[in-house]
Structure 1
């Protein structure tokens, strides 16, 4: 299923936010664009799941395929932003179906193409995920883990997320370059 979301205007370009809730909703062209975006972001040093550039495009494509194959309305949704018909960014919103934690969801792989940075696309994706989580998935809170030291705490903080904890030095990007993993929560939605 594909659902077109609210449009948010930022400057001259108008991003369109769409969610996908099943594997058959993702065209081959979109799957390719998702992998290209992820490779671009990772190779530029982005904190989106592949921390050691340059990344292997085959590994990225396999990771995208796992996300797309796992799409399901109750547990995993893909939120994509397009500008002028081209992919501008995306994220994966997931929930664990176990009854103990089924009331919260997690944001994964929030990323935007480099050419649209600073245009509000990332913030729009996170806002769309919040609305979907609250209004369609009946979630009560969202969580995420962010790499410390790259400004993500401030980015998510502006969107209402609060730091819930840190794992000091949990992420080793290179010898002598250990970063905190910052745990953040948005509650209530």
Structure 2
């Protein structure tokens, strides 16, 4: 099977996000969450009415220096997306954090997530002037293996930090990519 052609697009201001694109981002987020993905909403199912205000706030915070969305499309359809942010506080302004990494369920295993992660590394280094990236991944999903194949290193864990249901106590895995 051949890999699909993945088209990446960067959104650096709320003006870059059309209403139809906003709808597709929200649908993707709900789909990924409801399939058990660790993309920011802990308790599926999640409805669009719950996703939209969170997505609206994220889009409103977009700014070239501090927050960008990166999207991946296959055959003109949204295949996945992520958000990269930096804190403007001088003490930590040299690193950024990757949030909400997600790939549509039907396209998993076809390189969409890897393409997003390679491109966010380039953007962070070449366009945002960052020296390292951080992310937090949900334990028990094999995510540390995915990120590890892309050069990320586990920097630590918060044992039992995430509770997705009664009696659950998954680790939050802290990952680092440095140098970029």
* Shorter-chain TM-score tier: over 0.9
Offset, 1:12 = 5.0
Structure with bigger strand share is 1
- Flag the 1:12–1:63 CA change in 2: closer, same or farther, 3 A: same
How far apart, in 2, do the equivalents of 1:13 and 1:128 lie?
A: 16
**Match of residue 40 from structure 1:** 31
Structure 2 unaligned residues grouped into runs of 5+? none
How far did residue 33 of structure 1 move? 0.3
Name the residue aligned to 1:59: 50
Q: Distance in 2 between matches of 1:125 and 1:170?
A: 27
For normalisation by structure 1, the TM-score amounts to 0.93
Alignment of 1:115-134 (within 5 A): 115-134=106-125
- Does 2:25 align with 1:16? no
Aligned partners of 2:144, 2:106: CA distance in 1, in Å?
Answer: 22
Aligned partner (choices 88, 97, 103) of residue 94 of structure 2: 103
How far apart are residue 13 of structure 1 and its match? Answer: 2.3
- For 1:165 and 1:91, the matched residues in 2 are separated by 22
Cα RMSD after superposing both structures: 1.0
Number of residues of Structure 1 aligned to a counterpart in Structure 2: 180
